[in-house]
């Protein structure tokens, strides 16, 4: 069976820009503090009537157009999100209906910020098997809707957006392999404590604010600076390649300081990576495909390059994909 190759990429971010200066009018923070701590300068915020499925649909349509495929050519749609339209049914099904993939399976996965990397692994394993010629893999998030806008430790870091890739069978190039890992003992490091069946909103156990995204920043830092380089090394080992063969690493766009620390750990220069978080902030499960789309569009990737996509986040979950472009 030939590898699954990315034959089309799409990305969409809402038009509304929110700068660090805008945030300084709402919470006690500053452009200098945000930039120094994270490297973020601005992010995109969805309108109140825009859902995660809307962002995903726009990215999917763009990816299909680039692949020269029609929606009805899609056999499977996998959506990675931790900010779904509704708890159920799946946001993937909503996207499927919106873009007209009338002949496909559709389902969500939730690996938080590493969701799209996981989805790419799943999708690549289906491509080329009976009945699955084209698989659409999308990461989409509307974190502005699940953040506590009074919590300056989290609200300034995130933005909204979506990125998508079409996978098809292709001889000679494509996804070489993936490496995934999870540590459920750290599930409380990044979470929304209320809203599920454990703690219902409005129940006696509910505390106001628990309906929003919460994060232990120090614990996340300690995890991410180790998980990012580990994922890169492990996927390279799995596919029998070396760090010296890597042409570009596209990491989760969480924090520029985490990326810098990870690249230093790997012994690679920042010129070997691609970042765009200064413009979009942390778009969680959408960050890797958005960055991959932009890196390709800017000519940072050439045919035959070894590209590593790597991500880390809530779960705790982390992983990487190795791709021959």
pLDDT in tens, 159-202: 999 999 999 998 889 999 999 999 999 999 999 999 999 999 98
Note if 97 is an active site residue: no
Given a cut of 70, whether residue 107 has pLDDT beyond it is yes
Q: Residue 235: which pLDDT band, with cuts at 50, 70 and 90?
A: very high
pLDDT at position 295, please? 98
CA distance 193 to 199: 7
CA distance 201 to 194: 6
pTM for this entry: 0.97
Quickly list DSSP for 128-146: TSTT-SEEEEEEEEEGGGT
Q: Residue 149: which pLDDT band, with cuts at 50, 70 and 90?
A: very high
Note if 276 is an active site residue: no
Find all residues with CB under 8 Å of 128, minimum gap 6, and list them.
Answer: 1, 2, 4, 169
Find all residues with CB under 8 Å of 162, minimum gap 6, and list them.
Answer: 11, 12, 13, 52, 55, 56, 58, 59, 138, 139, 140, 141, 286, 289, 290
Domains annotated for the chain, with CATH where assigned, are 4-171 (3.40.47.10), 176-268+287-324 (3.40.47.10)
Total Cβ atoms within 10 A of residue 316? 25
Half-sphere exposure of 41 (CA within 13 A, CB side): 4
Given a cut of 90, whether residue 3 has pLDDT beyond it is no
**Helix (H/G/I), strand (E/B), else coil: 102:** coil
**The pair of three-digit structure tokens given for residue 167, joined into one six-digit string:** 């996978």
One of 60, 101, 113, 155 is an active-site residue; which one? 113
Find all residues with CB under 8 Å of 235, minimum gap 6, and list them.
Answer: 177, 178, 179, 308, 310, 319, 320, 321, 322
CA distance 31 to 44: 16
Given a cut of 70, whether residue 325 has pLDDT beyond it is yes
CB 44 within 8 A of CB 280: yes
pLDDT in tens, 191-223: 999 999 999 998 989 999 999 999 999 999 999
pLDDT at position 32, please? 96
Q: Residue 21: which pLDDT band, with cuts at 50, 70 and 90?
A: very high
Q: Residue 227: which pLDDT band, with cuts at 50, 70 and 90?
A: very high
Instruction: For residue 308, say if its preceding peptide bond is cis, omega within 30 degrees of 0.
Output: no
One of 252, 255, 276, 321 is an active-site residue; which one? 252
Q: Over the chain, what is the mean pLDDT?
A: 97
Note if 282 is an active site residue: yes
pLDDT at position 171, please? 80
pLDDT at position 1, please? 65
Bridge-based pairing state of the strands 174-182 and 317-324: antiparallel
pLDDT at position 148, please? 96
pLDDT at position 170, please? 85
One of 255, 276, 282, 321 is an active-site residue; which one? 282
pLDDT at position 2, please? 74
Three-state SS for 230-290 is: HHHHHHHHHHCCCHHHCCEEEECCCCHHHHHHHHHHHCCCHHHECCCHHHHCECHHHHHHH
CB 147 within 8 A of CB 117: no
Half-sphere exposure of 300 (CA within 13 A, CB side): 21
């Amino acid at each position: 069976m030939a590898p699954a190759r990315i034959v089309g990429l799409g990305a969409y971010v809402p038009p509304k820009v929110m700068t660090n200066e805008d945030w300084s009018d709402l919470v006690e923070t500053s452009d200098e503090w945000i930039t120094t701590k994270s490297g973020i300068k601005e992010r995109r915020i969805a309108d109140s009537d825009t859902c995660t499925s809307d962002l995903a649909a726009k990215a999917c349509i763009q990816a299909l157009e680039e692949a020269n495929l029609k929606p009805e050519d899609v056999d499977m749609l996998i959506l990675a999100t931790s900010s779904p339209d509704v708890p159920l049914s799946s946001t993937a099904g909503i996207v499927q209906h919106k873009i007209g993939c009338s002949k496909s399976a559709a389902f969500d996965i939730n690996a938080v910020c590493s969701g799209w990397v996981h989805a790419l692994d799943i999708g690549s394993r289906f491509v080329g098997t009976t009945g699955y010629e084209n698989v659409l893999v999308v990461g989409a998030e509307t974190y502005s809707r699940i953040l506590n806008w009074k919590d300056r430790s989290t609200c300034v870091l995130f933005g909204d957006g979506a990125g998508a890739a079409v996978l098809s069978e292709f001889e000679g190039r494509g996804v070489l392999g993936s490496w995934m890992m999870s540590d459920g003992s750290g599930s409380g490091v990044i979470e929304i404590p209320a809203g599920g069946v454990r703690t219902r909103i409005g129940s006696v156990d509910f505390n106001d604010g628990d309906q929003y995204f919460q994060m232990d920043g120090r614990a996340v830092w300690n995890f991410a600076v180790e998980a990012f380089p580990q994922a890169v090394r492990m996927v390279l080992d799995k596919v029998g390649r070396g760090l010296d063969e890597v042409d570009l690493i596209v990491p989760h766009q969480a924090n520029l300081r985490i990326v810098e620390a990870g690249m230093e750990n790997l012994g690679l220069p920042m010129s070997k990576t691609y970042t765009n978080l200064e413009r979009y902030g942390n778009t969680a499960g959408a960050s890797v495909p958005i960055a991959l789309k932009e890196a390709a569009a800017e000519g940072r990737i050439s045919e035959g390059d070894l590209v590593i996509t790597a991500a880390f986040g809530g779960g705790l979950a982390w992983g990487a994909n190795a791709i021959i472009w």
